[in-house]
Amino acid sequence: MNQRTIRQPVEVVGIGLHKGEPIKLRLEPLGIDAGIVFYREDLALSIPLSPSSVIDTQMATVIGSKKGYISTIEHFLSAVYAYGIDNMRVIVNGNEMPIMDGSASSFCLLLDEAGIAEQEASKQVIRIKKMVEVVDGKKFVRLEPSNHVTFDFEIDFEHPAIGQQSQSYSFGTRPFVEEIARARTFGFARDIQYLQSINLALGASLNNAIGLDDEKVLNPEGLRFENEFARHKILDAMGDMMVMGHNVLGAYSSFAGSHKLNHELTVKLLADTANYEMVTLEKVKSREFAKSFA
């Protein structure tokens, strides 16, 4: 299997979660080994995709520098991960990605519209060689060696509508679209009210998130999956792993993980080459892994 980019440029306009303003997103093909490059059109600023570019993980994954940043990249990157895109320019005209409906579905549709182009160079992946984990009390995130790409996530919220939930996902583009991509982000009404009082989450609504009060889901249509909250956590984790710029060959698992812990995991993994190796899919010799991108 070779590296991938998109076949043609595509663009869309959506609302930014925090500023509540329209954000134009444009995707463009890039050549072999260019990687995923974010570009702030309003600042003429390129931001390479790398854990070293991450500057904040409190409410979302944010990349950038003192010159400028782009927030809430994880939903988009989960779709990039699922479609196996290696090289692409991601252009926005503001400091955040459009939130769309709070899931990754719209980004999947955008990539479908752009089409996938195979390039004349072998695709490289990060193969996990030894277990790496980050622990914070009962919370943990972990990557382990495996010939099968899996994501397992468990959460436990003291809320009647959430409680204990788990989801297991065996990697594949189509299963992602069907099982994970539609799972929306979620937030509590009391937190949204506070954030909006300090001019954040101005674009948040029941059209782009699952809203919860102290007892129930506020969205009139209800949930898309019984365990939509756990599925969205897998979506987030895939996006956060894609910050490394490559697909991962290994098993990810977590209990109550977060953007912060995911970022610390990628930094810890890449800090020691005993933890991983960059390999081509030809070296992996896994037809199953290659076919999962079909």
Positions marked catalytic: 259
Q: What values do phi and psi take at 46, rounded to 5?
A: -90, 140
Residue 99 contacts residue 21 (beta carbons within 8 Å)? no
Token reading at 7 = 């076949």
- Residue 244 phi, psi (nearest 5): -70, -10
Among 184, 200, 253, residue whose Cα is nearest residue 58: 200
What is the spatial distance between Cα 182 and Cα 184, in angstroms, rounded to a whole number?
6
Do 68 and 43 contact (CB within 8 A), yes or no? Answer: yes
H or E, element range at 132: strand 132-136
- 115/86 Cα distance (integer angstroms): 14
- Residue 245, Ramachandran bin (φ over 0: left; ψ between -120 and 50: alpha; else beta): left
Other C-beta atoms within 10 Å of 46: how many?
A: 11
| Straight-line distance from the first to the last Cα atom of the chain, in angstroms, rounded to the nearest whole number | 11
Cβ within 8 Å of residue 287, ≥6 positions away: none
Residues 103 and 75: their CA atoms lie apart, in Å, by 6
